[in-house]
Amino acid sequence: MQSRFTHRFDLSTPIALAPMAQVSGGALAAACARAGALGLLGGVYGELPWLQTQHALALRLLTDDTPALKRVGCGFISWKLAEDASALDWLLDQAHTPAALMLSFGDPRPYTARLAKRGVPLICQIQRLEQLPWCLEAGAAVIVAQGAEAGGHGMSGVQARASISLVPEMADALATQSPSTLLLAAGGIADGRGLAAALMLGADGVLMGTRLWASAESLAASGAVSAALLANGDDTARSSVFDVLRRKSWPAEFDFRALRNRLHREWDSRINELRAAPDSARADYDAGVAAQDFERAHVTVGEAVGLLRDAPSAVELIERITKQAEALMR
């Protein structure tokens, strides 16, 4: 399972861990790196204490594995960095050089000089072709084409694209505009079939979230994982409900895919009402989080949730996915 992506980042499988907020911690990033994948810590909102703790954990877990240590990177939300980039600055000041830094949901160009000074490759996650010029101007080494099937945040409403057409179209655009830039597919990929399909569509690898979200090293709550294992892709939906409930001020063009639980169903058709008077619903949500009640608290998964059957170690998952893809590619 070699590709331009594995050669560029010294991997043994063309898989990258999605830098999921409060989920892709040090243990999961380290396990993915040890399995030969690219392990991206979930720096997302720039919460410095969390990042410091999880970064130290990843490095400690890999002190005996220098090649794996070189596969650990991080991901941030671009619009949030515009408010406070202290976590990014801290990361770039550390002795360990990140394998890569992924930026999503905003203009990556303000951070190009900082990354170039440290020699850190830039990965840009985008959802539409019209976003590509910013990334190429920023000197992105890798583009992630994220389809609307993905869990968590992505493009909302009429602008959303499906992976099956977005990935080959992005591959064609890169072949013309920037042939040396690599391409990863994201959204709906949770097994070897998805990995093989992404490669056949022209990607150099995949960014995987939901499947690794349900793993032994993930920081996802056990109750959330249990709920996900009983669900299928029909049970997820994109909306801004949980952004409002979590007090997250996301730009209007992005929304959030999660399981459509009781609280989600109560408000997804009344989003303007929720925005106008959120206090009661927020109290309900907060109580659900405190009680680990996932009919109220969010379960951040994509449409690939229907392909989950278990939550083993990340090493086992990556080996399983890679072997299945190898067999299909043969």
Q: What is the per-residue pLDDT across 242-280, written as a single tens digit (0 to 9) for each?
A: 999 999 999 999 999 999 999 999 999 999 999 999 999
148 and 245 housed in the same domain: no
pLDDT tens per residue across span 136-174: 999 999 999 999 999 999 999 889 999 999 999 999 999
C-alpha gyration radius of the chain = 18
Confidence of residue 220 (pLDDT cuts 50, 70, 90): very high
Quote the domain boundaries for residue 251: 222-291
Nearest CA-CA partner of 21 in 61, 91, 80: 80
Q: How far apart are CA 103 and CA 111, in angstroms?
A: 9
Strands (E), 216-281: 236-239, 254-259
59 and 193 housed in the same domain: yes
Domain of 51: which CATH number? Answer: 3.20.20.70
Q: Give Cα separations from 274 to 40, 277, 323 (angstroms).
A: 34, 5, 46
136 and 239 housed in the same domain: no
167 and 48 housed in the same domain: yes
265 and 316 housed in the same domain: no
168 and 23 housed in the same domain: yes
What is the value of pTM for the model shown?
0.95
Across the chain, which distance is largest between two alpha carbons, in Å? 56
120 and 240 housed in the same domain: no
Average pLDDT over residues 64-92: 95
Provide the number of structural domains found in the chain: 2
Q: What contacts 110, CB < 8 A, 6 or more positions away?
A: 81, 82
Task: Output the pLDDT for position 60.
Answer: 97
User: What is the C-alpha end-to-end distance of the chain, expressed in Å?
Assistant: 10
124 and 47 housed in the same domain: yes
**Percent above pLDDT 90 for the chain:** 98
Burial of 246 per CB tally in 10 Å (0-12, 13-18, 19+): middle
69 and 38 housed in the same domain: yes
Residue 305 within a domain: no
The pair of structure tokens assigned to 274 is 């929720």
90 and 64 housed in the same domain: yes
139 and 246 housed in the same domain: no
CA 256 to mean position of chain CA atoms: 12
